[in-house]
Amino acid sequence: MDRYLEQAVTEVPQLIGIFVTAMPDALLFSSWVREGTSWSAEDVASYFGDLVRANRQGLKALGSWSSEMQVTIESAESLVVLRELSTDFVCGCVFERTAPLGMVRLHLKRLLERVNQALPRVQAEDRPRGLRIMEFLDRYAPDPHAVTLRVSLRSGISIDELKAPGNLSADQIRRLEETACKILGVNQLSL
Amino acid sequence: MRMSLELSREVTCIRSMAWRCDLPSQLNWPALVAQMLTFDLTQQQAAVKGLTRLVSPRGDEIIFVAASGRVQIRVHYTVPEEQRRFVAERLFQHLVYALRRI
Amino acid sequence: MAIGDLRGLFAEQSLSFLAEIPYIYHCHHYNLFHDQTIDDALGEDEGARIRTAAAHNAFRDLLSAVYERSGATTPVERIALASELFQWMGQGKLHLDVGAGGGRARSASLHYGYAWREKYGARVKRVEPADAVAAGFAAAATELAFGLPSDAIAVTERKCVATRDAECEFDLTPAMGHPPLPPVDEMAVRRYVVPPVRGVDEDRIVAISQGLVEFMSGVQGDERGLIAAFNVFVTAHLPGYYNETIYETVHRAERTAPSSVPAIEALMQQAGQACVFFTFGNVLLSPEWEGLVGPPTGVSSDVISFCTSIARGLGFGHWLVNEYEPRKRLVLQCTSNYEVPFYRSRYGLAKKPRSYFIQGAAQAMMVLAEVVKWKERPQLSNDYYVDLFRAKPRYRVEQTKCLMRGDSISEYVVDAM
């Protein structure tokens, strides 16, 4: 898939990077970034996935969600466009900030068609909630290097048990989720 | 003297607060400082010998290390993060103008 | 009397005092991680209570000593001097509107709340206030201004910049007083140091640390009461605060939840790592360091010597390099540090080594020396820190000797894994 992406982006001069995120776990599926760019593709893909999910939920709460939705972010240095390709994949494209919006739309349409064709049709695996919570914390907790120790202290779940979060009991998952909410300062996790 | 100048983000503990560029160490530093003072900057005593410290009214700082040619631009912490880059670029602009005049 | 005139230096042990009460410098990365660990271990409510009490006790000791030396006797003098001192320390500018029955305090710029918002505000929504140190300070200042006994004033922070309020606000109310514990002052500190020992590269370390001490003597809070130096927010802080919070927390866990102690100790070590990475690292990359010592050489033994100098310059005690073999082993020793006098004065001999901060610091010194590419202008960002310390550990540390336990010296052995 990575090689296919490389071919797909050759005709888009102002593209800096493209990230395909597998949902619902917001994990990197494939990516391409322009040479000299030092982004962590795993991190970017995960954040893009979470952003699209949060956007979807927000629009559903407003009663205005449709599967065609697109998120466009104009930052100081780049223009980011996020699109749900299917229920299984999200694609995020990062363009130079100077790229004209009309040109971006044109390139994006062709690019997404080509990427979509190359994507496999998958059956999402129902991964254990404990595992997904720990991965979520790893992405969003303020001190990710210390998060296992922090969770252990706050939840009373031993560090050894947290090393295998897929095997936690229902009560432990409840405590883990409460702790994650506390550490992140949110009322519920958007998993 | 020909030189190329690039402003880059430096150690970024307090996000986007410190910026850097490098000048030739054999530069006429007193002349550069004199030109910099024509902008809204004042020279204040540096805590360490060999450094020159220029300060804006808000507290943004430009530090020259004459021995190595290093220039550090420190944007004041009260500037919101998203504006720090622009403040640094503004100070960098002063530096470029000052260099052209010496 | 200027606050700076109250400073004292126990030069051969690299310990500093304000009106004979020990003080040191720590950055916001360390301070925030430290407080977070206390709350992780005890929960928010009990964590805030312990932290506020520790700050209350520590500032009571400091303010009492400062008032005695400065001759400040009236409430007006004492409140003004307390605010000036707090601002000088880089803890923030706190406006106290108090009487013998309590009152209010407020600030838009307190070190903890302001720095928390700067570091974490964009990522995490905080619900609990962050300024237990300012709270404890406000209570102590009020008590001493009006001649009240220890703990006669209780304090609650009800608004905080870290929870997105415009200002931090504190309510001070009457409470039941109790007799204070004796302060851990310079006399107590001198009881718990051992004669200084020369280490590897000693002459250079002494020269650099003297330069740093001189540099730090000019560092003080700005008009907002904050110190932005070396790309971090710095505080002059009281070891009494750090020590009481750490050891009360650990002792309580040992009594009530012993299985949680290793995690608490590991997090306390990580606070030491954060200190070395962020503060020491940023000092090494600063123009001031370049002016004082020169640009980074990239030589690992230089980094070890420089870190030892910085520790001394910040008042952490007489750290020395006993042995260093690049990429393999570092043996760091201390004839004094800021933890031992407090522990021995308050609790007697420790049953096991307990200098968690220096354990983590020694480990991080090895990482800085061996992994960071100093000549390539490294970005000492939070992301780089997380990458370095989340990766598979490269070095393990063991504290083999501890002055708290009654050993002849404190010793930390870092070995490659």
pLDDT at B78 over 80: yes
Q: What is the CATH number of the domain that holds B28?
A: 3.30.160
Task: Tell me the C-alpha to C-alpha distance, in Å, between residue B101 and each of B34, B38, B98.
Answer: 10, 11, 5
Is C315 in a helix, a strand, or coil? coil
pLDDT at C210 over 70: yes
> And the tokens for C285?
């990359």
Residue C288 falls within a domain, yes or no? yes
Nearest chain A residue (CA) to C128: A185
pLDDT at A27 over 80: yes
For the residues C305-321, what does the mean pLDDT come to? 98
Residue C7 falls within a domain, yes or no? no
Q: Mind telling me how many Å the CA of C382 is from chain A's nearest CA?
A: 9
Nearest chain C residue (CA) to A152: C263
C244-292 confidence digits (pLDDT tens): 999 999 999 999 999 999 999 999 999 999 999 999 999 999 999 998 9
Yes or no, beta carbons of B12 and C215 under 8 Å apart:
no
Residue C13 falls within a domain, yes or no? no
Type of residue at C202: E
Res. B2 pLDDT band, cuts 50 70 90: low
Cα torsion C118, C215, B72, C28 to 10°: value is -10
Yes or no, beta carbons of A145 and C40 under 8 Å apart:
no
Q: How many CB pairs under 8 A join A and C?
A: 48
Say whether both C102 and C206 belong to one domain: no
Number of neighbouring beta carbons within 10 Å of residue C410: 28
Which chain C residues are closer than 8 Å to B59 by Cβ?
A: 222
Nearest chain C residue (CA) to B10: C379
Say whether both C39 and C165 belong to one domain: yes
Residue B78 falls within a domain, yes or no? yes
B interface test, pick of C286, C292, C297 with most B CB neighbours within 10 Å = C286
Q: Residue A46: its pLDDT value, please?
A: 82
Q: Does C260 touch chain A (CB under 8 A)?
A: yes
B16-54 confidence digits (pLDDT tens): 899 999 999 899 999 999 999 999 999 998 878 889 999
Question: Of C127, C149, C174, which residue is a domain's last?
Answer: C174
Say whether both C286 and C399 belong to one domain: yes
Alpha helices in A91-162 (DSSP H): 101-118, 129-140, 147-155, 159-162
Say whether both C165 and C213 belong to one domain: no
For the residues B72-82, what does the mean pLDDT come to? 92
- β-strands B42-44, B61-65: how paired? unpaired
Residue B18 falls within a domain, yes or no? yes
Nearest chain C residue (CA) to B45: C218
Q: Residue A124: its pLDDT value, please?
A: 59
Is C399 in a helix, a strand, or coil? strand
Q: C27 - beta bridge partners? A: C234
**DSSP character at residue C266:** H
pLDDT at A5 over 80: no
Is B19 in a helix, a strand, or coil? strand
Res. A67 pLDDT band, cuts 50 70 90: low
Counted residue by residue, chain B has a size of 102
Q: A72 - beta bridge partners? A: A81
Nearest of C315, C242, C238, C192 to residue C61 by alpha carbon: C238
Counted residue by residue, chain C has a size of 417
Q: Residue C198: its pLDDT value, please?
A: 97
Type of residue at B54: L
Yes or no, beta carbons of B13 and C232 under 8 Å apart:
yes
Say whether both C38 and C90 belong to one domain: yes
A33-65 confidence digits (pLDDT tens): 888 777 888 888 888 888 888 887 777 777 777
Say whether both C329 and C386 belong to one domain: yes
pLDDT at A116 over 90: no
Q: Residue A1: its pLDDT value, please?
A: 64
C9-63 confidence digits (pLDDT tens): 999 999 999 999 999 999 999 999 999 999 999 999 999 999 999 999 999 999 9
Residue B2 falls within a domain, yes or no? no
**DSSP character at residue C13:** G
Lowest mean pLDDT among A30-44, B58-72, C154-168, C197-211: A30-44
Q: Residue B96: its pLDDT value, please?
A: 94
**Looking up tokens 């254990």, which residue turns up?**
A128
Residue B16 falls within a domain, yes or no? yes
Q: Residue B13: its pLDDT value, please?
A: 63
Residue C125 falls within a domain, yes or no? yes
pLDDT at B1 over 70: no
Number of neighbouring beta carbons within 10 Å of residue A56: 19
Number of neighbouring beta carbons within 10 Å of residue C172: 24
Yes or no, beta carbons of C290 and B65 under 8 Å apart:
yes
A134-187 confidence digits (pLDDT tens): 999 988 898 888 999 999 999 999 999 999 999 999 999 999 999 999 999 888
Task: Work out the widest C-alpha separation in chain B, in whole angstroms.
Answer: 37
Question: What is the spatial order of strands in the sheet that C153-159 belongs to?
Answer: C95-99, C102-107, C168-174, C153-159
Say whether both C155 and C209 belong to one domain: no
Q: What does the alpha-carbon distance between residue C183 and residue C43 come to, in Å, rounded to a whole number?
A: 28
A45 near A15, Cβ under 8 Å? no
Q: Residue C24: its pLDDT value, please?
A: 98
Q: Residue C273: its pLDDT value, please?
A: 94
Q: What does the alpha-carbon distance between residue C129 and residue C47 come to, in Å, rounded to a whole number?
A: 12
SS3 assignment for C39-56 = HHHHCHHHHHHHHHHHHH
Question: Exposed e or buried b for every residue in B22-51, given b needs 16+ CB within 10 A?
Answer: ebeeebebeebbebbeebebeeeebbbeeb
C367-403 confidence digits (pLDDT tens): 999 999 998 888 888 788 888 887 778 899 999 999 9
Residue B1 falls within a domain, yes or no? no
Q: What does the alpha-carbon distance between residue C390 and residue A147 come to, in Å, rounded to a whole number?
A: 10
Residue C77 falls within a domain, yes or no? yes
Q: Residue C84: its pLDDT value, please?
A: 97
Nearest chain B residue (CA) to C220: B47
Say whether both C198 and C70 belong to one domain: no
Q: At what angle do helices C44-70 and C132-145 cross, to 10 degrees?
A: 40
Q: What does the alpha-carbon distance between residue C81 and residue C97 come to, in Å, rounded to a whole number?
A: 14
Lowest mean pLDDT among A7-16, C115-124, C164-173, C346-355: A7-16
Q: What does the alpha-carbon distance between residue C176 and residue C178 come to, in Å, rounded to a whole number?
A: 7
For the residues A3-17, what does the mean pLDDT come to? 78
> And the tokens for C87?
């601002």
**Residues of chain A by 3-state class (helix, strand, coil), percent to 5:** 50, 20, 30
Domain range for B20: 8-101
Is C151 in a helix, a strand, or coil? coil
Say whether both C318 and C396 belong to one domain: yes
A169-183 confidence digits (pLDDT tens): 999 999 999 999 999
Among the partner-chain residues B14, B70, B77, the one whose CB lies closest to the CB of C287 is B70
Say whether both C169 and C194 belong to one domain: no
| Cβ-Cβ contacts under 8 Å for C316 (sequence gap 6 or more) | C14, C24, C337, C338, C358
Q: Which residue has the higher pLDDT, A69 or C208?
A: C208
Domain range for C212: 186-416
Q: Mind telling me how many Å the CA of C308 is from chain B's nearest CA?
A: 20
Yes or no, beta carbons of A145 and C270 under 8 Å apart:
yes
Q: Mind telling me how many Å the CA of A145 is from chain C's nearest CA?
A: 5
Say whether both C212 and C361 belong to one domain: yes
Q: Residue B11: its pLDDT value, please?
A: 65
Question: Of C144, C174, C204, which residue is a domain's last?
Answer: C174
Q: What is the CATH number of the domain that holds C362?
A: 3.30.1380.20
Say whether both C170 and C52 belong to one domain: yes
Residue C402 falls within a domain, yes or no? yes
Q: How many domains does chain B have?
A: 1
| Cβ-Cβ contacts under 8 Å for A93 (sequence gap 6 or more) | A15, A17, A18, A19, A80, A81, A82, A83, A108, A111
Q: What does the alpha-carbon distance between residue C209 and residue B13 come to, in Å, rounded to a whole number?
A: 23
Residue B15 falls within a domain, yes or no? yes
Q: How many domains does chain C have?
A: 2
Q: For chain A, how big is the Rg over CA atoms in Å?
A: 18
Question: Of C135, C151, C174, which residue is a domain's last?
Answer: C174
Q: What does the alpha-carbon distance between residue C254 and residue C356 come to, in Å, rounded to a whole number?
A: 15
Res. A115 pLDDT band, cuts 50 70 90: confident
pLDDT at A68 over 80: no
Residue B17 falls within a domain, yes or no? yes
pLDDT at A126 over 90: no
**Looking up tokens 């996020």, which residue turns up?**
A82
Counted residue by residue, chain A has a size of 191
Torsion A170-A171-A175-A176 (CA) sign: negative
pLDDT at A125 over 70: no
Query: Neighbours of A (≥3 Cβ pairs closer than 8 A)?
Result: C
Residue B51 falls within a domain, yes or no? yes
pLDDT at A4 over 80: no
